[in-house]
Structure 1
Amino acid sequence: MLRSFYFLLLVLGTQLSACAQSPEKPPVAAAPPGGQRLPWLQGLLDSSAVLRQHQVGLSLADAATGEDLFGYQETKYFTPASTMKLFSFYAGLHLLGDSLPSLRYFSRNDTLFFQGTGDPTLLHGDVPSRRAYSFLLNRPEPKLAYCDIACVTPFGPSWTWDDYGYYFQPERGAFPIYGHTVRFYGAAPMPAKPRAGGVAAVRPGLVPAARVRVLPRFFAPLVGPATPSLLTPGLDKDTHVLRTSNENRFYVLPSGKKWVDETPFITSRGLMLRLLGDTLRRATSNAAWRPRPGQDSVRTLHGLRVDSLYRRMLRVSDNFLAEQLLLMCSTKIGRHDSLSTERVIRYVRKNLLTGLPDPVYWADGSGLSRLNLITPRTLTGLLLKLHREVPERRLLSLLAAGGGQGTLRKRYHDAAGPWVWGKTGTLSNNLNVCGYLRTKSGRLVAFSFLNNNHVVDSGDMRNEVERVLRQVRDRL
């Protein structure tokens, strides 16, 4: 027994000695943060004088494999501005199918009853569809009855109140007509004829209301020349028409050249009925939506193909189309007694955005609201989902293209053709861009480059963002 005990101690001692003398296996290294994977890019951002004083976030991933390539403050939340339109686009892809729902209707006796679905294309100046117009114009019923439906407020949460008169903030609604804007076409001013004594009858540069074409013509009697009290020093040089905040009165500013401008009008059921009746030349009354179960067959009229709306919305960043897109999506989920942006956002976040790195704080369809918040890596995650679910050629064709069209047309030029396709997002002191870029090695990279609270010149900001992305294209 004693001999066996010594033998056991000898064996154990030998094993312990061998373990002590053998080199220790190094611990498995944790994956380095994204910034350390591309130290040259980290240095480029850290050393930039333009990017030094504001919040900067950058996220890169391989669009084909989903591999994370780089991250710089990618877990922090930013105000995304119009890059939020990509979430509205994603909602439409999953809820709307191939065409837009234009209106819902049923017929009873001598009356066609119809209500809105949020379709913005009726007599819209940029994405016009005549489907609903022709349908209402040619219906055999002698009477047309528009039926109200509960809808969101005209302005979204946290929208800037004094932007009511700018083209980019029309009011939302269930049954839009003319895109809820008035279009003005200003002619070059006529040479002023001198009166006796050589005094000009018209102030130089002033475009009288008579020399402005107005569409729809319904608003022409409500247009006049701007009074001196309206010509405040802070007016933007591209502003040609002003509207008062509480009524549909429009005032033309002085100008020495031809111009085109859009100004939103204040919406109401009464005004919509007058505009529709004036256009159709058919009286349209108001009635309650009360289809009888089992007797009145409620149908949906479909109109424009969805890509026509997506393309316009994403390329030029059309806020109105994005807002109305979510209202149309709401007809596909839940009850049919209301059009609700909030209902769509809640549904999409719960059912369609699973797997994104961080929660999305989502308030509206367009990105006008500063209540929207997102991290760069989550925005890149959405771009990866889009690339997986939408054929690449179709996806890129819907986005603005560098040197080609949309909000990127003046930048990212290359003789070989577009290498950046994306969505911009701009608010005061916020300049963001995200999308896809093709590197010189042929790799397609999904990127989100967010800049919040900058105080440098916007032109300098755009130049710096382009400089960084060109380096990514050249070196990845």
Structure 2
Amino acid sequence: MPILPFAIPYRLAASLLLLGLLPLASACGQNPPATAPALPGVVRDSATGRADLPWLRQQLDSSVTLRRQQVGVALADAVTGEPLFGYNEARYFTPASTMKLLSLYAGLTLLPDSLPSLRYFSRGDTLFFQGTGDPTLLHGDVPSRRAYTFLATRPEKLLAYCDIACVPAYGPSWSWDDFNYYFQPERTALPLYGNTVRFYAGAPLVGRPRPGAPAQVLPQRVRVFPRVFAPLTAAAGADFRLSPDQDDDMHVYRAPLENRFTYRPGVKKWIDEVPYRTSRPLLLRLLGDTLRRAIVGTAWRPRPGQDSIRTLRGLRADSLYRRMLRVSDNFLAEQLLLMTSSQVGYRDSLSGPRAIRHLLKNQLKTLPDRPDWVDGSGLSRLNLLTPRTLTALLCRLHQRVPEPRLLSLLAAGGGQGTLRRRYFEAGPPKTPWLWGKTGTLTHTCNLAGYVRCQSGRLVAVTFFNNSIPGNDQATRNAMERLLHEVRERL
């Protein structure tokens, strides 16, 4: 077969081409990198410069858990205040206990470093005094003895307690059937013992009525504090039923409209706390028994230009803020709002709504959306907030309060309080990466606070979930997973 003159150059070129492709083929045959390149954390609109997180939006849209309910999310840089992400951020939600962050802002704005404990003036042999809403007098968890010592050691012969107009015992739209639970004490101008009664039951003892007799289980003994309520407390009979739908997990039941307590004996020791019904006669009796001094009730009538009205300073305010936020104490939040009201307008009454109106008209008038704010604790379902408004408030708090102090007031992931089981790196050492405030009601699971990202950035975040059907455990898991991704990507 004849050989064409162009055959040899052609074969040579083909061989050279094949040799050139071998390295490329070898490279393509290698295993791909272990992980794909991470998507950018923040994407900016080229026209407006606004930040967005498309990956977070996609996960919120596709979550089987979250799409069953109403979800709102707002993220911002805590230092600069720059918005980073919004998802239904302008819609109003029931905030539950995240409202306590507004109460914190009210306290930081209107109150001094030490709480106003009492207002008083002296005339002759009588000391006239009235409450300011301070909840710490003989409180079981944040006790202050400042007012107690002051009243017990005054040289005047007579102590005269003076009423001051105050809000109703319960806030608007509070659940009427929660009167028996520790988390809903009555609001008053001068609380004592946190306006609750504590019951301490020891384990039942086994004894013998006489030597040689069969052992018998003795009735469970229950200590009552304050002692004035002991005669009003009795053990329940076998057929006791306060109401057809009573909570059988409770140990102590109070009659709806009176201070009559019934406890159910058990086989183990327990502690319970129940609010008592407040009244002026009861307050005078509790004060007299505690101070061991005669107390009378009278009207507050200082003489202008003659009687010098003074304010007794009590507990450091941060101690109250910390307890209120970490364990979500409703009573402390409500009383805090009453105390702030004594600093604005007329001082002839204690009115949370007055303090709220003042703040919304002045310090908080530039929030993205006006809050519907009706109480200090978030117990009321009449409260409404948008996610971007609460995130803006978080940024203001960060600008107002030094970061170490601010984070120390909040519940920390893996630490004390409502976040102790979540939002931390196991370590060692155990390291929190979220500090914040939870908000929980039936069908409601919210979170607002600060996420420390792996980059070092601190992100203010609000994550609202309303209208949750059934159990909220899946919602809590989804929130933690998504916020952990925020921590990694930002």
Normalised to the residue count of structure 1, the TM-score between the two structures is 0.89
Q: Name the stretch that deviates more: 304-313 or 181-190.
A: 181-190
Looking at structure 1, the residues matched to 245 and 364 of structure 2 have their Cα atoms a distance apart, in angstroms, of 42
- State the shift of 1:230 in Å: 2.1
* 1:212 paired to 2:222: yes
* Alignment check: 8 A CA contact 2:359 2:365 kept: no
Find runs of 4+ consecutive structure 1 residues off by over 3 angstroms.
Answer: 191-195, 198-202, 231-238
| Deviation digits for residues 89-124 of structure 1 (CA, Å, limit 9, x no counterpart) | 101111111110111111111111101111100000
Looking at structure 2, the residues matched to 207 and 118 of structure 1 have their Cα atoms a distance apart, in angstroms, of 40
Looking at structure 2, the residues matched to 295 and 312 of structure 1 have their Cα atoms a distance apart, in angstroms, of 40
Q: What SS is found at the alignment partner of 1:102?
A: strand
* Alignment check: 8 A CA contact 2:206 2:216 kept: no
Q: Name the stretch that deviates more: 162-171 or 232-241.
A: 232-241
Looking at structure 1, the residues matched to 254 and 286 of structure 2 have their Cα atoms a distance apart, in angstroms, of 19
* 1:57 paired to 2:57: no
| Deviation digits for residues 213-271 of structure 1 (CA, Å, limit 9, x no counterpart) | 11111111111112323277855565211111011111112433222211000000000
* 1:457 paired to 2:453: no
Looking at structure 2, the residues matched to 338 and 233 of structure 1 have their Cα atoms a distance apart, in angstroms, of 40
| Deviation digits for residues 25-56 of structure 1 (CA, Å, limit 9, x no counterpart) | xx973456x6xx21211121112111121101
Amino acid at match of 2:147: A
Looking at structure 1, the residues matched to 247 and 415 of structure 2 have their Cα atoms a distance apart, in angstroms, of 27
TM-align CA RMSD: 2.1
Quick one: which of 415, 432, 451 aligns to 1:418?
Answer: 432
| Deviation digits for residues 385-429 of structure 1 (CA, Å, limit 9, x no counterpart) | 000010000000000000011111121231251111000111111
| Deviation digits for residues 334-354 of structure 1 (CA, Å, limit 9, x no counterpart) | 111101111000001111113
* Alignment check: 8 A CA contact 1:326 1:341 kept: yes
Q: What SS is found at the alignment partner of 2:451?
A: strand
Looking at structure 1, the residues matched to 459 and 264 of structure 2 have their Cα atoms a distance apart, in angstroms, of 46
* Alignment check: 8 A CA contact 2:207 2:216 kept: yes
Unaligned runs of 5+ in 1: 1-26
Unaligned runs of 5+ in 2: 1-44
1:7 equivalent in structure 2:
none
Percent identical residues: 66
* Alignment check: 8 A CA contact 2:75 2:85 kept: yes
Looking at structure 2, the residues matched to 353 and 207 of structure 1 have their Cα atoms a distance apart, in angstroms, of 57
Structure 1 330/59 Cα, relative in aligned 2: closer, same or farther at 3 Å? same
1:3 equivalent in structure 2:
none
- Report how many residues are paired: 440
- State the shift of 1:365 in Å: 0.6
1:322 equivalent in structure 2:
333
* Alignment check: 8 A CA contact 2:387 2:463 kept: yes
1:436 equivalent in structure 2:
450
Looking at structure 1, the residues matched to 263 and 207 of structure 2 have their Cα atoms a distance apart, in angstroms, of 18
Normalised to the residue count of structure 2, the TM-score between the two structures is 0.86
1:94 equivalent in structure 2:
109
- TM alignment of 1:282-297, pairs within 5 A: 282-297=293-308
Larger gyration radius, structure 1 or structure 2:
2
Q: What SS is found at the alignment partner of 2:79?
A: coil
Amino acid at match of 1:226: A
Q: What SS is found at the alignment partner of 1:230?
A: coil
* Alignment check: 8 A CA contact 1:315 1:407 kept: yes
2:414 equivalent in structure 1:
403
* Alignment check: 8 A CA contact 1:430 1:454 kept: yes
Q: What SS is found at the alignment partner of 2:449?
A: strand
Looking at structure 2, the residues matched to 441 and 194 of structure 1 have their Cα atoms a distance apart, in angstroms, of 71
Looking at structure 2, the residues matched to 445 and 193 of structure 1 have their Cα atoms a distance apart, in angstroms, of 65
| Deviation digits for residues 154-175 of structure 1 (CA, Å, limit 9, x no counterpart) | 0000000000010000000001
Looking at structure 1, the residues matched to 241 and 215 of structure 2 have their Cα atoms a distance apart, in angstroms, of 22
- State the shift of 1:68 in Å: 1.1
- State the shift of 1:295 in Å: 1.1
Amino acid at match of 1:118: G
1:12 equivalent in structure 2:
none
Q: Name the stretch that deviates more: 252-261 or 97-106.
A: 252-261
Structure 1 115/231 Cα, relative in aligned 2: closer, same or farther at 3 Å? closer
Amino acid at match of 1:364: D
1:129 equivalent in structure 2:
144
Q: What SS is found at the alignment partner of 1:407?
A: coil
* Alignment check: 8 A CA contact 2:254 2:274 kept: yes
Looking at structure 1, the residues matched to 319 and 441 of structure 2 have their Cα atoms a distance apart, in angstroms, of 25
Q: What SS is found at the alignment partner of 1:431?
A: strand
1:172 equivalent in structure 2:
187
1:23 equivalent in structure 2:
none
2:198 equivalent in structure 1:
183
Structure 1 383/190 Cα, relative in aligned 2: closer, same or farther at 3 Å? same
2:231 equivalent in structure 1:
221
Q: What SS is found at the alignment partner of 1:436?
A: strand
1:14 equivalent in structure 2:
none
Looking at structure 2, the residues matched to 457 and 306 of structure 1 have their Cα atoms a distance apart, in angstroms, of 36
1:20 equivalent in structure 2:
none
- TM alignment of 1:72-83, pairs within 5 A: 72-83=87-98
Structure 1 419/117 Cα, relative in aligned 2: closer, same or farther at 3 Å? same
Quick one: which of 335, 349, 363 aligns to 1:352?
Answer: 363
* 1:378 paired to 2:389: yes
Looking at structure 1, the residues matched to 71 and 450 of structure 2 have their Cα atoms a distance apart, in angstroms, of 19
Looking at structure 2, the residues matched to 74 and 64 of structure 1 have their Cα atoms a distance apart, in angstroms, of 20
Amino acid at match of 1:213: R
- State the shift of 1:372 in Å: 0.3
* Alignment check: 8 A CA contact 2:206 2:215 kept: no
* Alignment check: 8 A CA contact 1:159 1:368 kept: yes
1:230 equivalent in structure 2:
241
Q: What SS is found at the alignment partner of 2:166?
A: coil
2:27 equivalent in structure 1:
none
Structure 1 343/305 Cα, relative in aligned 2: closer, same or farther at 3 Å? same
